[in-house]
Amino acid sequence: MNESVRGKRGFIIDMDGVLYHGNRILPGVPEFLRWLHAEQKRFVFLTNSSERSPRELQQKLARLGLEVAEEHFYTSALATASFLASQRPNGRVYVIGEAALIHALYDAGFIMDEVNPDYVVVGESHNYTYDRIARAVQLVLNGARLIGTNPDLTGPAENGLVPATGALMAPIELATGAKAYYVGKPNPLIMRHALKKLECRREETVIIGDRMDTDIVAGIESEIETVLVLTGVTRESDLPRFAYRPHHILPDLTHWLGRGDG
């Protein structure tokens, strides 16, 4: 990795596929985090996952042996709640998602409503059932607007890929003919949130991620320098399928300080 990138002031860093797979820390991550602290860099872990709150993410990293303050985390759940609060303050929502998403919306002033909500909001969920899909379909057909926390079709896990919000949203879109509005990466909205947290300009910031279709295109569309790491969803063989390129490619984060094998 060249010095111009390491010399950036702000770092927007994805989590799944960059820092860990499931409960397994990826190569080079502890050394990379020590470098961020030692160089007094500004950094935010920006995840499209809406399953966990910043505190839960901080606690997960702590269980994996990585100490990072809660203030360094920002999620698509928080970005979704912020966006909806700007659109319809104190509105009503029907949510298919985990507690972190529900709490983010509640903290932003929203009321949970299964009868006549303003929005149907979908995020990753382990409580994804036919009954909840059917309810969401009826609510959208009755006029509720359809919102997704992120467009990811899959996410990385220890044993391979698992379905993510974009895939879970598909039955609702197909049954209603509605197209969801997604707040997470690559939406420039969430990138602006990240830059505000960093208190950095885009010219002095880099985004590090494992997905061409969210992380890298988000950086390109926001005019932020991009680093693709090949430890998550995107493989090097996938690159010809995309009309855009990352500025830099790393096999994993051991190569950040030039300590990898390649």
Low-confidence stretches of the chain (pLDDT < 50) are 261-262
For the domain made up of 88-182, the CATH class stated in words is alpha beta
- 170-205 b/e (C-beta count within 10 Å ≥ 16 → b): eebbeebebebbbbbbbbebbbebbbebbebebeeb
The pTM assigned to this predicted structure is 0.93
Q: Which of 43, 36, 41, 63 is nearest to 52 (CA)?
A: 63
Q: Which of 92, 16, 49 is nearest to 183 (CA)?
A: 49
What amino acid occupies position 26? Answer: L
What amino acid occupies position 79? Answer: A
CA distances to 11, 107, 130, 252 from 208, rounded to whole Å, are 7, 29, 36, 11
Is-catalytic flag, 113? no
Query: Range(s) for CATH 3.40.50.1000 in the chain?
Result: 3-48+185-255, 88-182
Among 16, 152, 210, 252, the one annotated catalytic: 16
CA distance 45 to 67: 13
Is-catalytic flag, 16? yes
The predicted structure's pLDDT at residue 261: 45
The predicted structure's pLDDT at residue 260: 53
CA distance 65 to 137: 42
- The CATH homologous superfamily to which domain 3-48+185-255 belongs is HAD superfamily/HAD-like (3.40.50.1000)
The predicted structure's pLDDT at residue 159: 74
